[in-house]
Every structure is written in C-alpha cells, then in structure tokens.
Amino acid sequence: MKVLKIFLITVAVMLVLGIGGLVFLYNWAASDLPGFKKITDYKPPLVTTVYANDNQVLGYFYKEKRFLVTLGQMSPWLPKAFLAAEDASFYEHEGVDLTAIARAFVINIKAGHVKQGGSTITQQIIKRLLLSSEKKYKRKLKEAILAYRLEHYLTKDEILTIYLNQIFLGAHSYGVEAAARTYFGKHASELDLAESAVIAGLPQAPSRYSPVRNPELAKKRQVYVLDQLLELNWIDRAQYDEAVNKPLEYTSMADPSWKVGPYYLEEVRRWLVDMYGEEAVYNDGMTVTTACDIKHQLAAEAALRHGLEESAKRRGWEGPTENISLGDAGRIQEQGPQDAEDVEKGDRYRAVVTRVKKDGAEVVFGAFNGFVTLKSMWWCRKPDIKKSHEDVRDPGDARKVLKKGDVVWVSVADIPEVPDAVWTLGLERDPMIEGAIVSVKPDTGEVVALSGGYDFGRSQFNRATQALRQCGSAFKPIVYSTAIDNGFTPASIVMDAPIVFANESEGKLWRPENFENTFYGPTLLRTALVKSRNLVTIRVAQKLGIHKIIERARALGLEADFPSDLSVALGSASVSLMNLCKAYTAFARGGTTIQPRLVLSVKSAWGEELYASQPEVVEAISPQTAYIMACLMKEVVRDGTGWRARVLKRPIAGKTGTSNNEHDAWFMGYTPYLLTGVFVGFDQMKPQGKWETGSRAASPIWVDYRKQVEQDYPYQDFTQPPGIVMVRVDGKTGKLAGPGSSEVFFLPFKEGTEPTQMAAPAGSDGVPASDDDLFKQVF
C-alpha cells in the first residue's frame, strides 16, 4: 500500500512537471507571437491586368507574377494533387498533424538526414506569411501554435485558397494560375490531371523540379504525386495510367505587354500610378478595362510607322548605320531571321552589304542571302531641306549609294519559294522623324487607338500626350468658329493682301505670309479656311480681338500658354495632340466637348469596383456653329489641303496644320463616329524639309489608318440642326449665286445671316462686295 502511494505521488509529480513543462514551453514560444489575423485579410502581391475593350490582354504590371484565383476557378485536380503531395490529411487535422510529424521523424532518422517534412499546409502558410525560415525549435513551436489558432479562425477552403495562391512555383511564378500560364500556356481551370501533378510537385524544390530546366526530374516528381493520389484512392488505375503516359507539352502563355499598344499601355500605367500610387499598381492585382480597340490600335501603329518611314525617305539618304568588316557580319546576322516561316513581306531587318554592282547590292541578313535592287534606291539623294523629294533623280548606279561592309536597313519585297534562294529586298532607312496618332469616338470620348512614336523601345516619350508643339493652321477652325459667332459668315469677304505689324518695344517688324507667298485679293471666308490663307486669318483675328479667340480656345478645352498677339491665330501656341483632339470633339459632336478617355473601369483583385469612367461633357459652342464648321472643314477635304482623305469617299471634315519652317505637321480629320489626329515632327525641333506640310507628312498617315477601319462604320454625314439654311453662293462676291456665277459653293448659314442679294451677271459693272457693311472696308 505504501509502495502504491509512492508510485501515485511520483506519477502525479511527473504529470505536474510535464504539464508545467508544456505550459512553460507554450509561454516561452507564445511570448512574442505575431498577430495572425492579418492572414485573414489576405492581400498578396498580385498582377494588375490591363484589358482592351474586347477583353484581350493589353499588358501586365507586377512585382511578383501572381494571379488570384478561387478554388472554383481551378481545375478540380489541382487542389487534390497538392493535398496528395503536401498534406493528405489536411481536412482532418487542426493545423498540426502529429502522425505526419512522427512519420517524418522516423524516415529522417533512418535516412540520416532530413528527407521528409511534417509541416501541414496551414503551417507552411504561417511560415511564409508570418515567420522566418530559420530551423529552430522555438520557431517550429510558434508555427504550430499559430497554425492551430488559424484553423479555428478560417475555414479549410479559405486556408487552401491562400496556400495555392501564395506558393512559389519557380520561373518567377507565384500561385497556381501563374504556374499554369508559365509551364502549360493555360489557365489553372484548364489543367488536366497530368499537368496538375507536375505543378503540385514543384513546391518542394521549384528550381530542381522545373519542367523547363529539368523535364526528367519533373516527370519523376509528377509520378510521385500520381502515386500518392492512387494510394489515397483519389484516382483509379485507369486515370493513373492515362496521366502517367500522357506526353507533356511545355509552353508559356505569351505576355503581350509592350508589344501591341505600348504607348497606350504606358499612358494607362501613368494614369494608374497618379490615381492609386505605384505600390498599388504593381501589387494590388487590379483589373483595368480600357477603350483600346486592338484592330484600331494595330492599324494606327502600322500607319504611323509607315508614314514616318516614307517621311524619312523624302529627306534623302544619310548613309549606313555603320560600316564593318565582313568577318564581323555574324553579329548583325544573329539579330535577323533564322527561319523563313517567321518572315512576312514588308518586314524590316538590318543587313550587311557583301558586294555592290551597278544594278544593286548583295547582302546577308539573318540566315539568308538577299539582293537590294537599284529600283528601291530611287529616293537616295543627298539631304537638302530646301529641295522637295520631287527634285530627286534616280541615282542610276547602286555603287553611288552603298559599299561593301555597309550595315543598312532592308525590307522584304518578295519571299522566295525556296528559302535558300536569294531574297529580293528594298533599301530602307531608320527614321529619326517622330510622330503620334490619336483616335477618339466623339460620342463617348473613348480613345480607341493611341501611338506616341515610331518605336517604344527607342523612346518612351509619348508625343501624343507629352509633346507640346505649335499646331499651325490646325488652330484656324478655332479662329473661324469665333468669327462665325461674331458677325462673320462663310460668305464674308476679307482681303488677302500683305500686311506688316510693328513691335515698337522690340523694334521689330512682323510680316505674316501665305504658305505659297502669293496673295489673292478679296477672298471668301470659306475659301480662306479651305485654302488655309494666313493673311485672311490674321485680318479676321484683328477684327475679332485676340482675347475672344483665346476665350474660345479655352472654352474648347485647350490648355496652353497663348501668346497675346495675332500670331495666336496662326497656331503659335503649343498644344498636345490629345488636347487638340478634345477641342475638335466640339465640331464633331455638335457643340459640346468630351474628355478623351483611356481607362473605362478599374476593379480590385476581388472584383470590387474602384473606378468607373463617365463621359465628361462641356458646352462649348452652339450646334449651328459646330455644323457650319463641319461643313467648311468638309470643303477642306473636298477642295483644299485635306484632299487625300477624299479617297475614303465619305463625308469627312478635316484641317491640316504646318508650323513655321515645316517644324510641325498636323492633320485633324473627323466624322460623326470617329475623330483622328496625326502629328509629325522631330523631337529636337528642326525643319522637316520643303513641302513637308500637314497635307504631305501627316494626312497620308491619317488616310492609311482610316482605310483599315472605315468600313466598320455605316455611311454617316453630320446632322443639320434647326436654325441652319443652305444657300448657293457666288465664290467671287459672296452673294447669292446667279446664272452667270462661274464659281458656286453650297454653304450653311445661321438663319437670318444668309446673303439676300444676287451676284451681278458676268461682264456687268457690279463691284464685288460682301453681304454685310462690315466687310465693305478692306482691312
């Protein structure tokens, strides 16, 4: 009896000491535990995805390549495969699996080293999100305590979702969605059993078991995962055999970022950073929907690049990019095409000249041999900004242009049926000229296309939004719209004659001139705009007063430092292409401006709406004035400097613009359904060359783009508002056209301002005059 009592006392003491020891260990480990509840507000670094308007991906922004997906957005095989490989009893334990720990202990003792871990998925989350990876007993105790607590705060599905989105799976991929895209070019929802087992085998050693680096080891690890699934009876033998024997094809989902619409994407990125901050843009996994239309974007980019290349050719030949020894040609060839299937007609590559003959030059490019024809060198002249390209004569001999060892740009003129044959090529040059194009839907303000330069890789400066340049005569519609609201009509007569202004404070004279340095005398207001007559515009501005013109420009939304002199009427203020497009929306929309919109909506990673764009509309001019200006700018296309747009055979309104010395060339053209602006000019302001005007340099780009998209819209003309009357006008006098009128225009007028007198018959003694006494005096 005494022995039994001693035994019981001893057991009791040991229990007390054991419990005390456990309490001590618990308090020791739990003394400085981090708060685990932040895991419940799971916000890992995620990829922000930018979409075009048809849900095609325009690009990604991220620091860690991770896409958040729920269990329901994964293949059902994925969670099963991960559980089989990492934590088969996940749905039974409470955060710590003592059986797995004991099993791992025995295996590791037998192996003599750490071969298997006993951590549950919950413990792995705790380790990755809250604790360090140091291998100390105190850290393992903390891990177990926190895992137990987390299991009583979140559901099992929530814990598993966090794990499958958080885990690093190699190749810069975090989470199963990123891994599915990286290794199989699929979404996580599309993975089959075999593919799911490959990805589930990665967490233990992502680099070692990488399907890309070590496909054989990846296969062994896949079989291990499938063995576990079979042993657990989560798959049957037929499924196992099919998965084991299925050939694995590894491919990565293409990242479209900075390929299509790089300037558009960068503008969206800058907007997002301004709106939400850089950390949010690169970590919060936002979903951004833009107004970008991929068809429009591709067409706009191609048109701009082609237009700038043609512009460069018109300036002549500036020589090769470099001259090298033929022994160094391999350096250039490595950069070119190696497979004929990758080449399309019109593609441009760098080539090395190996031999020059009179009729052309033999070159090597990529893995191929080519011949640059003399015919393709028609544009090669010595650069001279005082001469037009029409003055160019065929060089007549390729040896005047090229020599052996020259590194030049060539374009593929024809692809031979046999790749080993000699390819026919054309000589090209890399344009230093830059430009921009913006296309906006006037009804909504949606920017369907935007390109801010020739090559985003060469320069990220966006000439559509960041460049401030003089818009020249593209500003004149603003002047003439002001005139229409202040006593002028399309039939008003203004003198086109020399005029001189003295600046007494600076002791200088200003002599504005017409582009052709010719003067036409009394001129219809309609004709002055259509033919872009500077001197008429100056006289109109002088009569209106500069302040009225600046007020109108600001009412249309133009943001510029307007000079307080008459040069403002000729577009001397510097504006961005995007801003000028906004001003022109008033003419396309019937009087109201609308803010161009790139970003339509922004949602959080969980689908919550953070931003929804709404049209920003401002009253600017009357519908009648807008309609009159649209009609006059249709005349610019029909009979003036915008004539190249006639090829579309649509009612198109537009205006060219050219600044002094051909520094800047513009074309602003619009229909009721689409407004497009084009700018061309050197970054370092210098002349483009003789006749490099808005008509020649900018409008062909506009036309090339619109040719590709115009048929997507029904034929539509501008709607005539109430209060407008259409009158046949004599082009010489501005009066009603009569039987003897040799030049007749059908023009719009605000009701009550139309001419009422008939033009005098031909041969009479009638004196040309306007329909208003205001214009009887020539000024």
**Mean pLDDT of the 115-143 span:** 64
DSSP 3-state assignment of 416? coil
State the Cα–Cα distance between residues 572 and 580, nearest whole angstrom.
Answer: 13
Looking at per-residue pLDDT, the higher value among 732 and 138 belongs to 732
Mean pLDDT on 505-532: 82
Q: Is the pLDDT at 654 greater than 90, yes or no? A: yes
Band (pLDDT 50/70/90 cuts) for residue 569 is very high
pLDDT digits (tens, 9 = 90+) for 320-377: 999 999 999 999 999 999 999 999 999 999 999 999 999 999 999 999 999 999 999 9
Residues contacting 195, CB < 8 A, separation 6+: 180, 183, 184, 186, 248
- pLDDT category of residue 623 using cuts at 50, 70 and 90: very high
Find the length of the chain.
Answer: 779
Q: What is the pLDDT of residue 779?
A: 42
Closest C-alpha among 565, 596, 566 to residue 581: 596
Question: What are the pLDDT digits (tens) for 667-719?
Answer: 999 999 999 999 999 999 999 998 999 999 999 999 999 999 999 999 999 99
* Per-residue pLDDT, 149: 82
Q: What is the rounded distance in angstroms from the CA atom of residue 551 to the CA atom of residue 554? A: 5
pLDDT at 8: 52
DSSP E strand boundaries for 540-598? 574-575, 592-594
Mean pLDDT is lowest, of 40-54, 576-590, 737-751, for 40-54
pLDDT value of position 4: 54
With 80 as the cut, is the pLDDT of residue 570 above it?
yes
Q: Is the pLDDT of residue 106 over 60?
A: no
Closest CA to 272 of 35, 494, 579, 604: 604
pLDDT score of 14 more than 70: no
Assign 3-class secondary structure to 95-134.
Answer: CCCHHHHHHHHHHHHHHCCCCCCCCCHHHHHHHHHCCCCC
Mean pLDDT of the region 482-496? 96
pLDDT tens digits along 311-320:
999 999 999 9
Cα dihedral 82, 84, 89, 95, rounded to 10, equals -30
Q: Does residue 23 carry a pLDDT above 60?
A: no
pLDDT number for residue 500: 78
Please list, in sequence order, all residues whose beta carbon lies within 8 angstroms of the beta carbon of residue 394, skipping any fewer than 6 positions away. Answer: 374, 377, 378
Q: Provide, for the chain, the percentages of residues in helix, strand and coil under a 3-state DSSP scheme, each rounded to the nearest 5.
A: 40, 20, 40
Q: Flag whether pLDDT at 295 surpasses 90.
A: yes
**What pLDDT is stored for residue 390 in this prediction?**
72
Average pLDDT of the chain? 89
pLDDT digits (tens, 9 = 90+) for 409-465: 999 999 998 878 999 999 999 999 999 999 999 999 999 999 999 999 999 999 999
pLDDT of residue 566: 92
Question: Could you list the active site residues?
Answer: 86, 473
With 90 as the cut, is the pLDDT of residue 165 above it?
yes
Burial of 27 from C-beta contacts in 10 A (0-12 / 13-18 / 19+)? exposed
| pLDDT tens profile 456-473 | 999 999 999 999 999 999
Q: Identify the pLDDT of residue 151.
A: 83
- DSSP 8-state class, residue 347: -
Distance CA 478, CA 474 (A): 8
List C-alpha distances in Å: 753 to 391, 478, 576, 595: 48, 20, 35, 32
Strand order in the sheet with 434-440: 447-451, 434-440, 675-681, 664-670, 653-658
d(CA 309, CA 435): 11
Of the candidates 339, 336, 360, 331, which has an alpha carbon nearest to the alpha carbon of residue 348? 336
| Res. 24: pLDDT tops 70 | no
Burial class (CB in 10 A: 0-12, 13-18, 19+), 296: buried
Pairwise CA distance, residues 752 & 403, whole Å: 71
Helix (H) or strand (E) holding 59: strand 57-61
| Percent of the chain's residues with pLDDT above 90 | 76
Residue 767 scores a pLDDT above 60: no
Write down the pLDDT at residue 31.
45
Give the C-alpha separation, 329 to 334, whole Å.
9
Q: What is the pLDDT of residue 576?
A: 98
The answer for residues whose C-beta is within 8 angstroms of residue 77's C-beta and 6 or more apart is 191, 192, 193, 196, 197
- Phi first, then psi: give them for residue 158, nearest 5 degrees: -65, -40
Which of 392-401, 480-489, 748-757, 768-777 is predicted least confidently? 768-777
In this prediction, residue 506 carries a pLDDT of 62
Separation in Å, CA 212 to CA 78, 197, 629: 20, 15, 62
Residues 538-564: pLDDT tens digits? 999 999 999 999 999 999 999 999 998
Residue listed under structure tokens 């576990």: 228
* 689-702 confidence digits (pLDDT tens): 989 999 999 999 99
* The pLDDT of residue 772: 43
Q: Is the pLDDT of residue 773 over 70?
A: no
